[in-house]
Amino acid sequence: MGVGQRFKPGCFRGAQVAVVGMGKSNQALTRYLVKEGAEVTCFDRKTAGEIGPAYAELSALGVKWSLGSGYLSALPSFRWVFLTPGMKKNLPEIAAARERGAVITGEIGLLLDRLRCPVVAVTGSAGKTTTCTLAGLMLRESFPEREVHVGGNIGSVLIEHVQDIPEDAVVVLELSSFQLELLTRSPRVSAVLNLKPNHLDVHESYEDYVEAKKNIFRFQGASDWCFLNLDDDVTSGFATECPGGLGFFTFDPGKIVAGAGGEPGGRPAAWADGGDLYVAPGPLADLPSAACWKKGGRYRRVARRGDLLVPGDHNVLNALAAALLAVSVGATPEGIGRAIETFRGVEHRIEFVRELKGVKYYNDSIATAPDRTEALLDAIQGPLVLILGGYDKGLTFNTLARKIVKRGCGVVTMGATAPLIEEALARAKRDLYGDAAELALPVMDPLESVTQRSERGAPGLRTARASSLDEAVTIATAMARSLPGSSVALSPACASYDMFQNYEERGRLFKEAVGRLS
> 3-17, 134-148, 186-200, 342-356: which range is least confident on average?
3-17
Q: Are residues 328 and 355 in the same domain?
A: no
Q: What is the pLDDT of residues 232-278, one digit of tens each?
A: 999 999 999 999 999 999 998 888 764 443 445 478 999 998 899 99
- Read off the pLDDT of residues 419-462 as tens digits, 9 standing for 90 and up: 999 999 999 999 888 764 444 433 333 333 433 333 333 445 68
The pLDDT value given to residue 328: 95
Query: Which segment of 58-67, 264-273, 408-417 scores lowest on mean pLDDT?
Result: 264-273
Q: Which of 160-167's residues contact partners 24+ apart within 8 Å by CB, and which partners?
A: 160/28, 160/29, 160/31, 160/32, 162/32, 162/111, 162/114, 162/115, 163/114, 165/115, 165/116, 165/117, 166/116, 166/117, 167/116, 167/117
How far is Cα 7 from Cα 80, in angstroms, rounded to an integer? 11
Do 384 and 476 have their domain in common? yes
Query: What is the rounded average pLDDT of the residues 368-387?
Result: 92
- Residue from 171, 194, 185 nearest 217 by CA: 185
Distance CA 412, CA 491 (A): 11
Q: Helix or strand or coil: residue 114?
A: helix
pLDDT for 378: 86
Are both 100 and 138 inside the same structural domain? no
| Calpha distance 74→77 (Å, rounded) | 6
> Is 180's pLDDT higher than 50?
yes
Residues 147 and 280 in one domain: yes
Residue 373 inside a domain? The answer is yes
Same domain, 101 and 113: no
Question: What are the Cα distances from residue 148, in Å, to 137, 143, 155, 165, 171?
Answer: 9, 9, 12, 9, 6
> Counting every residue, how long is the chain?
518
Provide DSSP, 287-329. Answer: SGGGGGGGGGTT-EEEEEGGG--S-SHHHHHHHHHHHHHHHHT
Range of the domain at 411: 351-515
377 assigned to some structural domain: yes
Task: Specify if 427 maps to a domain.
Answer: yes
Cα gap 351→510, rounded to integer Å: 11
Say what the pTM is: 0.79
**Is residue 10 a part of any domain in this protein?**
no
Let me know whether 46 and 132 are in one domain: no
pLDDT at position 457 is: 39
Among candidate residues 62, 88, 105, the one where a domain is terminated: 105
pLDDT band per the 50, 70, 90 thresholds, residue 344: confident
Q: What is the count of structural domains for the chain?
A: 3
CATH of residue 317's domain is 3.40.1190.10
